[in-house]
Amino acid sequence: MCNIYKNTWKDAVQLTHLHITNFKNIAEADLNFSQNINALLGDNGMGKSNLLDAIYYLSFCKSFTSLPDAGIVKSGETFTMMQGDYVRRGTEEQVAFGYAAGKRKSFKRGGKEYSRLSQHIGVFPLVLVSPADMELVGGGAEGRRRFIDMLISQTAPAYLNHLIRYNSALQQRNRLLRDHVCDPNLYTAIEMTMEMSAEYITGARREITGRLREIFRKHYRDIARTEETPEAEYRSALLISGVSYGELLEQSRRKDEIIGHTTTGPHRDDLELTLDGMAVRSTASQGQSKTFTIALRLAQYEFMHEATGMRPLLLLDDIFDKLDSHRVANIVEIVNRDIFGQIFITDTNRDHLDSIMSSMTGADYSMWNVSCGNFEPVK
Ligand SMILES: Nc1ncnc2c1ncn2[C@@H]1O[C@H](COP(=O)(O)OP(=O)(O)OP(=O)(O)O)[C@@H](O)[C@H]1O
Ligand SMILES: [Mg+2]
């Protein structure tokens, strides 16, 4: 299907307008966005990622750089404010955020203040592909578990409750182990709670990573166009042990007492990433690792679309870095496919952005030159 139809997607979440005051290096910005692709061009340190962070903030109530709130206020100023106008499920919506140094932050949807910010997460779905994603591939299992957990939590609210229950019981068991408590009844009660939630968590992770893996492999192959075999497989001791988690915990109690913490369970699961059977973390090149992160995020996008019935906003921060010209061209082609809704993309290289725009047959797009926190439209 030709791109000209892109802006007719009824299920795409769209940010139509954004007003920013004092967010990081952006003193003031008032931007109207294209429903299709919005490109931000500029040298290093100019404010391209800061704009994406502002959009991210309005969906997740926090910065993607994990800065404390004081860090997002423009230096020398005492407050920051943002207002985003959206179209969501065919209806116009407004999200407003304000924070002043030393005060509680205010977050409103349709003029109504949230009592708990967690109620806002997932309402305006968004997927970010960022340079920090390299940690997903090169870092420890914790980051990959967080990736899976965030994905499932946004689509199945019960999952988060099980995760909280499991982690709280896990901490209680670890406390008993550290304090050398020997009462088996105490362990049994805690382990029963852990087992109940672990079954749900493992089942959900297995099911969802199974679907994710299929989409991921398709995207990897489309970007790389090589004979490589990429894999993203869920690994859990509970699935290979052949005994129940309750039995596993009981069997490992002696060992856990000596070590001082629980050595088996969903808190040790991983999403094992391999290329031709070898661990990506230790053997893949930077370009191959980058391809993994982009393919994983695009799989997250498609999965969220399937699960929520809404096309999330897609933020692509510096995605072409480390990739050869073939992979860049393949990504340009993928980005132009009709699976995505509204896209925001940053780059320091105008050729990359121009190649995306020139392949957009007839659909409208917007481009800005970003300089010291200012946004100048490119004609
Ligand atoms: N609270 C703040 N107040 C003022 N400036 C800030 C604040 N936080 C970050 N900055 C500035 O924002 C700039 C970084 O902007 P940003 O990360 O958006 O750059 P970029 O255009 O994405 O660059 P690159 O191409 O290198 O990724 C830095 O110069 C940094 O000093
Ligand atoms: Mg940047």
Ligand closest to the CA atom of residue 370: 1
Q: What is the pTM of this model?
A: 0.92
**Of all protein residues, whose CA lies closest to atom 12 belonging to ligand 1?**
25
Residues of the chain short of pLDDT 50, as ranges, are: 1-5
Q: What is the pLDDT of residue 242?
A: 81
Asked whether the beta carbons of 79 and 98 are under 8 A apart, the reply is yes
**Of all protein residues, whose CA lies closest to atom 27 belonging to ligand 1?**
44
Ligand closest to the CA atom of residue 77: 1
Over residues 198-248, the pLDDT tens digits come to: 999 999 999 999 999 999 999 999 999 999 999 999 999 998 878 899 999
Q: List beta partners, residue 87.
A: 14, 92
Tokens of 221: 């192959």
* Cα 329 from chain centre: 24
Asked whether the beta carbons of 292 and 285 are under 8 A apart, the reply is no
Q: What is the pLDDT of residue 14?
A: 96
CA torsion angle for 119, 120, 121, 124 (degrees, to 10)? 140
DSSP-assigned letter for residue 134: H
Asked whether the beta carbons of 279 and 273 are under 8 A apart, the reply is yes
**Of all protein residues, whose CA lies closest to atom 26 belonging to ligand 1?**
44
Query: CB within 6 Å of ligand 1 — which residues?
Result: 24-25, 42, 44-50, 71, 73-75, 318, 348, 370
Q: What are phi and psi of 32, to 5 degrees?
A: -105, 130
Residue 54 neighbours by CB under 8 Å, 6+ apart: 18, 20, 23, 24, 26, 82
Q: List beta partners, residue 371.
A: 374
Ligand closest to the CA atom of residue 25: 1
Query: What is the rounded CA–CA span in Å between residue 88 and residue 248?
Result: 46
Query: What is the rounded CA–CA span in Å between residue 352 and residue 335?
Result: 12
Q: What is the pLDDT of residue 1?
A: 36
**Of all protein residues, whose CA lies closest to atom 7 belonging to ligand 1?**
24
What's the 354 CA to ligand 1 centre distance in angstroms? Answer: 24
What's the 42 CA to ligand 2 centre distance in angstroms? Answer: 9
**Closest ligand 1 atom, CA of 72?**
1
Query: What is the rounded CA–CA span in Å between residue 41 and residue 376?
Result: 10
Over residues 32-64, the pLDDT tens digits come to: 999 999 999 999 999 999 999 999 999 999 999
What's the 48 CA to ligand 2 centre distance in angstroms? Answer: 6
